[in-house]
Amino acid sequence: MSLVCLGLSHHTAPVEVRERHAFPPDRLGEALQALRDYDEIREAAILQTCGRLEIYAEVGEYEEGIGQLKRFLTNFRHGATGYDMESYLYTLLGNAVVEHLLRVSTGLDSMLVGEAEILGQVKGAYVLAQRTGTLGAVLHRLFRNALHAGKRARSTTAIGRHSASIATAAIELADGRLQGIAAHPVLVLGAGPMGRSALHRLRELRVADVAIASRRPARAQALAAEMHHGRAVKMQHLAEAIARADAVLTSTGATHFILTKENVGAAMRLRGGRPLLIVDIAVPRDADPAVAEIPGVTLLDIDDVKAHVEAKLEARKDAVPHVEAIVAAQAHEFARWYRSRAAVPLIASLTNKAEAIRAAEVERLFARCPDLTERERTLITGMSMTIVSKLLHGAIERLRERALDDRPDVLAHARVLDELFGLDVADQVARLLSRRHTAPDGQR
């Protein structure tokens, strides 16, 4: 199985490394298109969240494919890093890739187990790869299985019950730091999915004074109207909005610092000594780390949120074995499908050959019998299709069974059928079989 996943995540890299390698959301499609220029990359999808950057690919030759993925990360955006990038990367191969994506989509691998956003993020990666044209049959099937597993985990287990998102976890952290957030004015920076989750939770907590700012003012206005909560403020008045707030939750997706020592410092001069809490869950970060040097400012980032929620995971641990069973079942189903691919070109060629013969003979009959009615023609066509289907059914089922059971004699059958019917597919079957066995399964 020539599947590869190259990535870094909250398990392996701190936020300052993750943000260094995050793609701007509007360049993800361009990045996928760039991957198509690498010879060994046959299919590719990029999954990027606040906690991970992962490239999923089917490669021709796995050693060279992995090397090309690493060169892509270096060349496309990231360049020299000043540190050993390899120490933060992980590489998964074969079945380990399948299991990993299933664990990601079900929330088992999330910073917050069972988090609400990850399934939508996996779907977003799938849709973008499909739209860009880098998604082939293998990754299409893998991502569909992953989405199915994620939906099933949330509908049949408690993994997503009372599921918190990263944004709501950040608000819980702020609630504890402020000893009750309801009595404090709050500024939310960013009107995307994180901002929506934050605003929803603030409304549940009855926080009356909520301001929303976005780099796109219309989005902030639309979110406030949609949620019937909060008021939109303009980024031009950011210092004044910060000065009014006691807590700032930020996740904008910007590639530069939104909160700087200058604008936060200006806000603090307007506050009359009142302390300010900033919780930055953006990757790349919205707040310059130097902001923490300003007297009265407490700056927390997404890794602080991770540490906060780790103590709250006990309630979901009982659901983990049930979700693991879903992951195992979906991984088994994908593996069976992948093994069966060796029979696909053989079956397709055989049925196409039979259909071409059938159609030609029926047309010859119709030419000799021009007086046949439309109903008679339909009956003859249907009968001919039924005969071909019944003749091929047993052979097709046996080919599928041998491929699913990983039987090497599927290649022998292909060669016999090539000789008997001139199908010319044995070489293609051989290539598919070799790709199933050349790449080891596991992690590097």
Instruction: Write out pLDDT tens, residues 25-39.
Output: 888 999 999 998 899
The pLDDT value recorded for residue 160 is 75
- Please state, in angstroms and as integers, the Cα–Cα distance from residue 413 to each residue in 183, 210, 292, 368, following that order: 75, 69, 69, 37
Residue 14's pLDDT band, with cuts at 50, 70 and 90, is: confident
How far is it, in rounded angstroms, from Cα 86 to Cα 89? 5
pTM of the model as a whole: 0.69
What is the distance between the alpha carbons of residues 171 and 165, in angstroms, rounded to a whole number?
10
- pLDDT at position 146 is 96
Q: Is residue 50 flagged as an active site residue?
A: yes
Kindly indicate the confidence band of residue 429, based on its pLDDT and cuts at 50, 70 and 90: low
Task: Tell me how crowded residue 413 is: count the other CB atoms within 10 A of its CB.
Answer: 19
Average pLDDT, integer, range 58-69: 91
What is the secondary structure of 179-221 as a DSSP string? T-GGGS-EEEE--SHHHHHHHHHHHHTT---EEEE-SSHHHHH
Residue pLDDT, tens place only, 148-181:
999 999 899 888 765 567 888 899 889 999 999 9
Contact between residue 346 and residue 433 where contact means Cβ atoms under 8 Å apart: no
Phi, psi dihedral angles at 255 (to 5 degrees): -100, 0
- CA angle, residues 353, 356, 362, in degrees to nearest 5: 140
3-state DSSP assignment of residue 222: helix
* Neighbouring C-beta atoms of residue 262, cutoff 10 Å: 13
Rounded Cα–Cα distance for residues 49 and 286 (Å): 15
Rounding to the nearest 10 degrees, give the CA dihedral for residues 224, 258, 281, 253. 70
Question: Among the options 41, 50, 118, 327, which is catalytic?
Answer: 50
pLDDT at residue 439 in the model: 47
Confidence of residue 138 (pLDDT cuts 50, 70, 90): very high
